[in-house]
Chains A and B, each alone.
Chain A
Amino acid sequence: MSLLEVKDLTVTFAGGIEAVRGVSYEVSRGEVLGIVGESGSGKSVTSLAVMGLLPENAQVSGSVKLHGRELLGMREDDLIKVRGKAISMIFQDPLSAFTPVYTIGDQIAEAVRVHQRIGKDKAARQAVELLDLVGIPHPDVRARSFPHEFSGGMRQRAMIAMAIANDPDLLICDEPTTALDVTIQAQVLEVLKTAQRETGAGIVMITHDLGVVAGMADRVLVMYAGRPVEQGPVDDIYYRPRMPYTMGLLASIPRIDGEEGPLVPIEGSPPSPRALPPGCPFAPRCPMKVDACDDEEPDLTAVGGGRQVACIRSREIEDKGLTGADVFPVPVIPADELVRVPRAERSTVLELDGLVRHYPLMKGSVFKRRVGTVYAVDGISFDIAEGETLALVGESGCGKTTTLQQIMQLEAPQDGRVVVLGKDSANLDRSARKALRRDLQIVFQDPMAALDPRMPVGDIIAEPLRAHGFPDRVDELLELVGLSPADAGRYPQHFSGGQRQRIGIARALALEPKLLVLDEPVSALDVSIQAGVINLLDSLKARLGLSYLFVAHDLAVVRHLADRVAVMYLGRIAEIGTVENVYDRPAHPYTQALLSAIPLPDPAMERSRKRILLEGDLPSPADPPSGCRFRTRCPLFARLPESQRRRCVEEEPSVVRQARDHGAACHYAEEIEVITASDDQEEK
């Protein structure tokens, strides 16, 4: 008998909005089921319904059986004996998931005492043991800390400790690593695997990240518009998807081991649950759509091998062995004329030389006094040639955003130089600065926050034109980014995330800039939408001869879009060079760890991959380690003999050339390959 059996689960919110429309799945002991889908597909609502944690205005029907016992409609008195005991849940955002006013130890001990009749001090000791189990250093001290004193990764570990406190049979993980940096994500996933080994629990893993699922799951359920559209063993889903949506999703993910070239986008955006199309909800976006698709919504039907598919053409897909790349139209991106000119002969559009930005750390309310310095950016240098994309990558807190702000300010930096199009920002007067702003534009991360909600899109795009006295060319710009001139009168809230980001790009392009700064332009978008925006950026660059400074934490996206990449760590550049050099032959231990931490959407490779796991968290930029800043977490440093370590502790490494256009800031840099090449991914 399976551990958890969900049948025909339906969740309807007030106003008749059906968030979940008939989900069925089973989880056995020790099995990991991955539930994948984009935002709004109903995957989180499904799991909350299983826990009975939905708000009161939600109507839940169907059946949820744990060990054969029906959970839906169970009285609270009985349900509280199941929650936290038989089923535990790990939530996405570990900051808001802990009550801010109690210590971590108390909150874990509370979970223990709810279900076990033991004394307070015994529960407290158990909390410390649990924290130790999930790898929190000094657990006895840290148990007395409050949630805000924990870093994101530590909080998620503590969350896992709390979830396994009562040895649950089933763990539901709702996007457990989405809010974390990749190296921390790798650590937390490792802890989750340990937790599963310790408890032998079944896991339901909800995520939008197909890489995470590939490494964790035994079986996968793909959801779209509140319904499961495909279900099966992980290898089948990844290597032989039978539903066009799954195929598109897999084809649209940028991969760190991928080839350059356009990504496969899924046109359009997911339907609103208020206005579902007749028939198959994916039909409007499906390249394989036939008339019969509109007639009725296909049921999830078993096709053998433990697989279920909801598509009327699934047999045909199976027989012809179609993949996403075969089915979905791949846009043709014009070749960039400039690329043929050698880099040295192209002019430089942006040059940073020893840029420094320190923030004073102040204390006191009336009489402020300086108690320290945050070394946000501590001497970085790079340049961008015309027609080139340089990506600045690194984890949160490494100084990418500060660097970007320093460039956009066009003012004299605290130290070092910022030269934009040959003009030093320190020598600009007001009018020259305004004129230079025309050539330097920015696209922001959050497309909702970056557009004034009370302004029609036409006005938003026309604003820079008016400010600089340019002729109106809103229609042309809208067409340039793939929108229609008829959209000019509509407001930002009428557009989907991907369309809003296109509007942001149109606004940035209005003044025909030479350099575009892209601050995480696709990180807020779903994968299927992301591919379209990346392709757009790629083709705009070629058509308009733009140069990009691209700030991102997603190294897979960077591989697709960038020519060169600079990896930052604690305000310094760790490694810089062409994408091929840095990705295929990383020389800095940090780059190697970063690349190896990224999960690949490929189950077989994920299973065989050896990860370089980093210890601990990013040190505070207010108190960086002496010498090499990375040494406290460096796996190479840990292996070095004492005599060689001295140099790392005493001397701060600067970027040293490894090869043509490849440099690393490591005393003992050594090129190794961390992403196993996989060119047979499609044939499998």
Chain B
Amino acid sequence: MGKYLLRRFAVNLILVAVAASLAYLLAASSLHPRANFAGRNPAPAVEVVDAALDDANINDKTPLLQRYGTWAAGVVHGDFGKTWEGGSVNDEMGRRIGVSLRLLFIGTVLGSALGVMVGAWAAIRQYRVSDRVIGVSSFVIMAIPVFVVATMLMIGVVGLNRAAGSTLIEYTGEYNPTLTGLDQLANRLNHLILPTISLCLGQIAYYSRIQRNMMLDVLGQDFVRTAMAKGLRRRTALFKHALRTALIPAATYFAFAFGTLLTGATFTEKIFGWHGMGAWLVDSIYTNDVNSVAAVNLFAAVCILIAGFLSDVIVAALDPRVRVS
């Protein structure tokens, strides 16, 4: 079992390297940081521009593979290079990574937990009104892109705040820097509400659909009947025997769901004015900031592969059949 996970981890590490390299090569060949200097008045001398670009290892006069080599050597030593303006990518990432992880962590945990519960409940109430309502809502939510959901939530909250006459729910930024202590914490939590909801909704919808199907497969199985024949209550049998077994396939979807969550987080951060990794990606693409784009992509690759690894761990923990062989 330990060996199995170790092997999976090694494979994941290789995948991260491949994903990050491809992302760098794509960013370095399609973004043109030189254009950032072109519009300046007075136009800087070519030597000055070259020097600035060389400093950040983003000069298009250097061969792509050579730039890649320099970048990769830096990354291996934990140095993600410089932004096009000469700042440290590492420092910028340090500031932003916590912001994003906070959103992603809460989004994943709440999204999957609530999604599984909603799905399992819908399965038990198959074809009843509640099941149908959940089904239709899930599909509606899945059909609406995250940025529309986020904007609609924001409009709703603005209306609510106006009706209440005070700011009940914060709808922009991460926190209010003027507050301190417990007030600051409460304020931070308040700021989390809307972004979390907009991130979670899609996750809940997605997980609920999967979990409902898995649960329905299991509900008809003989072992649920056996559990009830033993004298367990229907509720206990469903929870302890059916749901526990139906969780296994849902856990394998964990890695896939995380991908959509990451994409969603990009929009959510941008819309709610959070200075996280997603917002940074969008900004860096605007400013042709090759190294920042590559760094964000590396972060995304690591996140997705950690999610994949976690999903392996969860499956192994849930399913004795995987553990034994």
Contacts and interface: CB of A to CB of B under 8 A. Distances in A.
Interface stretch (A87-95, A259-267, A324-332): A87-95
A362 to B, nearest CB: 12
B223 to A, nearest CB: 4
B231 A99 contact: no
A85 B230 CA distance: 8
Given A93-B222, A148-B321, A99 B227 contact: yes
B230 A110 contact: yes
A101 B231 contact: no
A101 B226 contact: no
How many A residues are at the interface, by size bracket? Answer: 20 to 34
Interface stretch (B133-141, B189-197, B241-249): B241-249
Contacts of A98: 223, 226
B320 A146 contact: yes
User: DSSP class of B's interface residues: helix, strand, loop or mixed?
Assistant: helix
Interface in B1-53: 11
Interface stretch (A76-84, A333-341, A502-510, A591-599): A76-84
Among A83, A101, A102, A148: residue with most chain B CB under 10 A: A101
B230 A111 contact: yes
A101 B241 CA distance: 8
B65 interface: no
Contact of B226 (A80, A82, A91, A149): A91
A101 B319 contact: yes
A148 B325 CA distance: 11
Interface centre among B221, B229, B233, B234 (most CB of A within 10 A): B229
A429 to B, nearest CB: 42
Contacts of B223: 96-100
Contact of A114 (B231, B318, B321, B324): B231
A645 interface: no
Interface string B304-325: 0000000000000011110010
Interface residues of B, number: 23
Contacts of B234: 76
Given A91-B222, A101-B244, A111 B231 contact: yes
Nearest to B241: A99
Contact of A99 (B11, B245, B318): B245
Contacts of B244: 99, 101
A162 interface: yes
B222 A85 contact: no
Nearest to B234: A76
B109 interface: no
Nearest to A162: B230
Contacts of A102: 241
Contacts of A148: 321
A103 B233 CA distance: 20
A210 B315 CA distance: 45
B228 A53 contact: yes
B214 to A, nearest CB: 13
A439 to B, nearest CB: 43
Nearest to A51: B229
A93 B223 CA distance: 10
B222 A81 contact: no
B233 to A, nearest CB: 6
Contacts of A80: 231-233
Interface string A355-375: 000000000001000000000
Nearest to A163: B229
Interface in A157-182: 159, 162, 166
Nearest to B242: A99
Given A101-B245, A101-B318, A114 B232 contact: yes
Nearest to B235: A76
Contact of A100 (B227, B231, B232, B321): B321
Contacts of A240: none
B275 interface: no
Nearest to B11: A366
B229 A83 contact: yes
Contacts of B245: 99-101
A614 B223 CA distance: 29
Contacts of B96: none
Given A96-B221, A96-B223, A98-B223, A114 B320 contact: no
Nearest to B225: A53
Contacts of B318: 101
B321 A115 contact: no
A102 B241 CA distance: 9
A162 B226 CA distance: 10
A83 B321 contact: no
Contact of A149 (B11, B229, B233, B324): B324
A146 B323 CA distance: 11
Contact of A88 (B229, B233, B320, B321): B229
Contact of B222 (A96, A114, A149, A366): A96
Contacts of A93: 222
B229 A53 contact: yes
Interface in B238-256: 241, 244-245, 248
Contacts of A101: 244-245, 248, 318-320
Contacts of B320: 100-101, 103, 146
Contacts of A103: 320
Contacts of A146: 320-321, 324
Interface in B202-226: 221-223, 225-226
A268 B233 CA distance: 43
Most buried by A among B221, B320, B321: B320
Interface in A102-117: 102-103, 110-111, 114-115
Of B230, B248, B319, B324, most A-chain CB atoms within 10 Å:
B230
Given A99-B245, A101-B248, A101-B320, A114 B226 contact: no
A83 B230 contact: yes
Contacts of A366: 11
A111 B230 CA distance: 5
A53 to B, nearest CB: 6
A84 B222 CA distance: 15
Nearest to A84: B231
Contact of B225 (A81, A91, A166): A91
Nearest to A366: B11
A85 B248 CA distance: 31
A516 B32 CA distance: 73
Nearest to A80: B231
A83 B228 contact: yes
Interface centre among B225, B244, B248, B321 (most CB of A within 10 A): B225
Contacts of B222: 91, 93, 96-97
Given A101-B319, A148-B321, A81 B226 contact: no
Contacts of B230: 83-84, 110-111, 114, 162
Contacts of A114: 230-232
A89 B228 CA distance: 10
B316 to A, nearest CB: 12
A111 B223 CA distance: 13
A159 B229 CA distance: 12
A148 to B, nearest CB: 6
A100 B222 CA distance: 11
Contacts of B232: 80, 84, 110, 114
B229 A89 contact: yes
Interface string A107-140: 0001100110000000000000000000000000
Interface of B: 11, 221-223, 225-234, 241, 244-245, 248, 318-321, 324
Given A76-B233, A80-B233, A98-B226, 10 more contacts: A83-B230, A88-B229, A96-B223, A101-B245, A101-B320, A102-B241, A111-B231, A148-B321, A149-B324, A162-B230
28 contacts: A48-B225, A53-B228, A53-B229, A76-B233, A80-B231, A80-B233, A81-B231, A89-B226, A89-B229, A91-B222, A91-B225, A91-B229, A96-B223, A98-B223, A99-B227, A99-B241, A100-B319, A101-B244, A101-B319, A102-B241, A111-B230, A114-B230, A114-B231, A115-B231, A149-B324, A162-B230, A166-B231, A366-B11
**What are the 4 tightest A-B residue pairs by CB atom distance, in nearest-first order?**
A84-B231, A84-B230, A96-B222, A111-B230
